[in-house]
Amino acid sequence: MPGIYLHIPFCKQACHYCDFHFSTSLKNKKPLLKALHNELLLRSQELEKQEVNTIYFGGGTPSLLTAEEISSLLISMEQHYSIAKNAEITLEANPDDLSEEKIIELSKTSVNRLSIGIQSFFDEDLQMMNRAHSAKEAESCLSIAKHYFKNITIDLIYGIPGLSAKRWKENLQKTFNYGIPHISSYALTVEEKTALASFIKNKKYPELDENLALEHFQILISETQKKGFVQYEISNFGQPNYFSKHNSSYWEGEPYIGVGPSAHSFHGNQRSWNISNNAKYIQKLQQNKLALTYEKLTKKDRYNEYIMTGLRTIYGISLEKVTRDFGEDYHKHLSNEAVPFLDDKTLTWEKDFLKVTSKGKFLTDGIAASLFFI
């Protein structure tokens, strides 16, 4: 089932590790919202006669929008698209935006899933990352949100220098204590042109330690498993019936449209993306023109993407699908390239499916790259 992603490109401040497209100035918020409405209208034919199963407000920080602004965008989608009655509608939010009043207002909209960027329950970690919220705000918003939203996911970051195993376990335990049914957790990484990259280069911050990240990753898997979570994707852990439908559709190759500056779209053999510039995006839409760049995906592109996404999920890679969709040459290539990983037990065959083992999970992206058809 197709989905719609809306990129809300505004943040209160820049996190030191973030390389997503955003602006800390809200002066163009009104024309940007008008442009989003217009893009939704102009692209409505792309999903004609297809029921939309998921809507995702990402960013940036979508919780900087008012509940009224969010509802207005949802109404636009209902007017121009066929939205399923039980559609999963997710809003990314930061704890400092989630006062009790704001949470109640959001609960009265069609939003039925909150994705809260906690990252850590410790102030020293939050300050290092330049997050806008405090540990107290993180706990406060969860204690309120759980009374108004049943479906909540939080983000946590591990591999932070100085984050002990004990404190990482405390982060996880706090999550469990609040009854949160889904966790997305990622290792801290250094992206080019971020403040973190500059700090490390100039010796103002320690180098990241892969062994520390691995230790935290293993604790994450162990502790969530004890609480009944399923690691259905390398970075995503959900209790039964709480897997992210929207993100799962990405990994399963479902079509989706991305609306807003820098947002990506996918339609089987074609990918497109919007310009990563708010002013230019607004200008284009004011002229009733789309700000999209298109790319036709080759068979090799589609195979490599399937390998990357499939291997990261609990479902693995289907040899039958590889043969059916890509041909015998790709089947042989995959079988041959998988041998050393099967030998060292980082990959395994389960009937027709190639999957990463517990030993291989932390190495998944590297293994996938080795299986690519170059």
pLDDT in tens, 98-111: 999 999 999 999 99
**What are the φ and ψ backbone dihedral angles of 111, each rounded to 5 degrees?**
-60, 130
The structure tokens listed for 6 are 């809306």
Start and end residues for every CATH 1.10.10.920 domain found in the chain: 299-371
- Is the distance from CB of 66 to CB of 111 less than 8 angstroms? no
Q: At 1, is the pLDDT very low, low, confident or very high (cuts 50, 70, 90)? A: low
pLDDT digits (tens, 9 = 90+) for 132-155: 999 999 999 999 999 999 999 999
CATH fold of 299-371, please? Arc Repressor Mutant, subunit A (1.10.10)
Start and end residues for every CATH 3.20.20.70 domain found in the chain: 3-251
Give the 3-state secondary structure of residue 87: strand
Q: What is the DSSP string of 158-224?
A: E--TT--HHHHHHHHHHHHHTT--EEEEEE----TTSHHHHHHHTTSSPPP-HHHHHHHHHHHHHHH
pLDDT of residue 268: 87
Distance separating alpha carbons of residues 348 and 351, to the nearest angstrom: 10
CATH class assigned to 3-251: alpha beta
Tell me how far apart the terminal alpha carbons of the chain are, to the nearest angstrom.
Answer: 30
pTM for the whole structure: 0.96
Region at 119 (left for phi over 0; alpha for psi -120 to 50; beta for the rest):
left
Residue pointed to by tokens 């990983």: 341
pLDDT digits (tens, 9 = 90+) for 160-210: 999 999 999 999 999 999 999 999 999 999 999 899 999 999 999 999 999
Distance separating alpha carbons of residues 24 and 132, to the nearest angstrom: 12
pLDDT of residue 326: 97
Distance separating alpha carbons of residues 247 and 88, to the nearest angstrom: 11
